[in-house]
Structure 1
Amino acid sequence: MKLIKLDAIDSTNDFLKALSSQDELNNFTMVTAENQTKGKGQMGAKWESESGKNLIMSVLVKDFLCDIEKVFNMSVVVSLAVLEALKSLSVPNLSIKWPNDIMSYNKKIGGILIENTIKSDGRIMSVVGLGLNVNQENFEHLPHASSLKVICNREFDKDSLPFLIIEKMKERIEVWETNSAFFWEEYFNSLFRKGVPMPFNNLHDKNFMGIIKGVSPVGKLQVLLEDDSVAEFEIKEIQMLY
């Protein structure tokens, strides 16, 4: 796989999207950066990272998604690949906070942003961005955040992490057609706070209690409400209070 290493960039996702529009890049072309000045999270949220301490990467994935109604399959593949890679490094108590936050215990250690482009011939190209807190130790103004180093009390080789994660992604993509139901079940079972009564906040700034039951095929969070009905929520329509 091709690796492009940058010292600083506004956004590795934006850089890779621009590059892929001008050139026929190989599948799994990867971009990493030591510093990202305009890192993005879901729905335009800002992602901040201490320079040189963390993994900031984007990878181009082609020839996997073929149906715009099933783009959340990529989220399933990527989040599970990250969890598998981190488990192999003995990072404890890992889970996925819907849709794409990587958690250890109740702390966020990473976030995934997937941006899809539909080509004129109908092909779907995905740029998968990952920010992973690796060796950063100061989270003074981020009470819900942590890093691999803080949690495991040791330094990690952040330069080897991208290759480990990409290999796990490729392995799952190669067998997706025959294992998709199993992977979806694995994603469900890895959800942060699944099956536990907990408070949420909605778009109208109202709090309510609910229990996470799963995720729909198009990526909506399914929550069992107090009246025993199940509601589905889009990204940013609901916030977990924990």
Structure 2
Amino acid sequence: MNLTTKDEILSRFLNANNEPISGQQLADEFGISRTAIWKHLQTLQDEGYTFETIKKKGYLLTTTPDRVDPARITSYLETARLGHTIRYFEEITSTQTFAHELVRNGAIDGTVVVAESQSAGKGRMARPWESTKGKGIWMTIIIRPNVLPHQAPQFTLIAAVAVVNAIKSLHKSINPEIKWPNDILIDGKKCTGILTEMIAEMDGVQALLIGIGINVNQQKEDFPEELQNIATSLSIEANEKLNRAKLIATTLKYLEKYIDLYLQVGFEPIKTLWEEFSGTIGKRIKATTLREVVEGMAIGITSDGVLEVKVDDGEIKRIYSADIEIEKPI
């Protein structure tokens, strides 16, 4: 794990099973002075963690704020690669933009960029993404799979399946559905967007940047007025506050699982899962592409992840990229 000393100290407390740890023990473990340990604890307290001093026993962690810092994520992590290097920010322009810089500087497979807020979050087609501070998950995962450029769009669908599984495994009362190609909805309202960008050369993919934005703990008033009827959060739907760090770790677990499955046996099992979770298949849709507007019944996706739409004259059209509007029954 690539943690700072401060995060490693926090990790010790998170894994201490509510038992105090002596300052001398920490100093011995980390090879630094007790004064340095105290300074790290002061920094953690400035970030919202609180410690109680237990006489002759040491420090006891008593309050953990809702943060997505590396130590919190790592305490739940169950992956072999993803999330073992985490770059964390209180605020950033965009995790996706910073991930591009990291790739140019040789970032390893599985590196995660995560922030409490973004000032210029990126959505699909260069649209802005609202990133409320401390309420959602705003992250980009850098992966370096041995695939060809035409396979890159399938990773958006893989990520969608991973996010749905993570949500459902932690919060069984929530029923998310995937809207092709990159949104996750709950009762027709958007809670998650996924943006996959590719850095490639002629002979293959150097890296894929999978950006995932999840509305987690927002309440209705946290959304701009124009979004309140079309956006939602997991907290609104579950009627409780959720653990963002645990959801990140669980998403990474499923993402790694399905990436490995895809690389081993291909897209077919992912396709089956995607269609099972789809809120698009079997619905009448309007697909607005750069060239035309296609209206008809969404009947499935191809083995490449392309959406198939049966239009009114019976012809089946393939949609590679579009804005999708699911038409409501009259």
Using the TM superposition, give the Cα deviation of residue 189 of structure 1 relative to its aligned residue in structure 2, in angstroms. 2.5
| 1:194 match | 281
Determine whether 1:81 maps to 2:162.
yes
| 1:156 match | 242
| 2:102 match | 19
Provide the aligned C-alpha RMSD in A.
2.3
| C-alpha distance after superposition, 1:10-50 (max 9, x if no partner) | 1101101111102x222111011111111111111111122
Using the TM superposition, give the Cα deviation of residue 179 of structure 1 relative to its aligned residue in structure 2, in angstroms. 5.7
In 1: Cα distance, 2:99 partner to 2:180 partner: 25
Bigger drift between 49-58 and 68-77 goes to 68-77
In 2: Cα distance, 1:202 partner to 1:194 partner: 17
- Indicate the percent of aligned positions where both proteins have the same amino acid: 27
1:234–1:240 CA distance, 2 compared to 1 (3 A): farther
Determine whether 1:45 maps to 2:124.
no
What is the identity, as a one-letter code, of the residue corresponding to 2:168? Answer: K
TM-score (normalizing by structure 2):
0.67
1:137–1:191 CA distance, 2 compared to 1 (3 A): same
Using the TM superposition, give the Cα deviation of residue 121 of structure 1 relative to its aligned residue in structure 2, in angstroms. 6.1
TM-score (normalizing by structure 1):
0.90
Does the CA-based 8 Å contact 2:267-2:304 persist in structure 1?
A: no
Does the CA-based 8 Å contact 2:285-2:298 persist in structure 1?
A: no
Alignment of 1:102-113 (within 5 A): 102-113=184-195
Does the CA-based 8 Å contact 1:119-1:125 persist in structure 2?
A: no
Q: Any stretches of 5+ residues in structure 1 without a counterpart?
A: none
Does the CA-based 8 Å contact 2:268-2:303 persist in structure 1?
A: no
| 1:68 match | 149
| C-alpha distance after superposition, 1:213-232 (max 9, x if no partner) | 12234443211111111112
Using the TM superposition, give the Cα deviation of residue 144 of structure 1 relative to its aligned residue in structure 2, in angstroms. 1.2
What is the identity, as a one-letter code, of the residue corresponding to 1:187? Answer: W
Q: Any stretches of 5+ residues in structure 2 without a counterpart?
A: 1-83
In 2: Cα distance, 1:94 partner to 1:162 partner: 16
Does the CA-based 8 Å contact 1:113-1:128 persist in structure 2?
A: yes
Using the TM superposition, give the Cα deviation of residue 95 of structure 1 relative to its aligned residue in structure 2, in angstroms. 1.1
Give the secondary-structure state (helix, strand or coil) at the position aligned to 2:271: helix
What is the identity, as a one-letter code, of the residue corresponding to 1:223? Answer: V
| 1:5 match | 88
In 2: Cα distance, 1:186 partner to 1:216 partner: 13
What is the identity, as a one-letter code, of the residue corresponding to 2:93? Answer: D
In 2: Cα distance, 1:203 partner to 1:26 partner: 35
Using the TM superposition, give the Cα deviation of residue 178 of structure 1 relative to its aligned residue in structure 2, in angstroms. 2.3
Using the TM superposition, give the Cα deviation of residue 119 of structure 1 relative to its aligned residue in structure 2, in angstroms. 4.2
| 2:270 match | 183
Q: Which structure's relative contact order is higher, taking Cα pairs within 8 Å and 6+ residues apart?
A: 1
In 2: Cα distance, 1:80 partner to 1:33 partner: 23
| 2:326 match | 240
| C-alpha distance after superposition, 1:106-136 (max 9, x if no partner) | 1111000010111476343101101000000
In 2: Cα distance, 1:127 partner to 1:199 partner: 29
Bigger drift between 9-18 and 41-50 goes to 41-50
Using the TM superposition, give the Cα deviation of residue 92 of structure 1 relative to its aligned residue in structure 2, in angstroms. 2.1
In 2: Cα distance, 1:153 partner to 1:192 partner: 22
| Structure with bigger gyration radius | 2
Give the secondary-structure state (helix, strand or coil) at the position aligned to 1:210: strand
In 1: Cα distance, 2:111 partner to 2:252 partner: 10
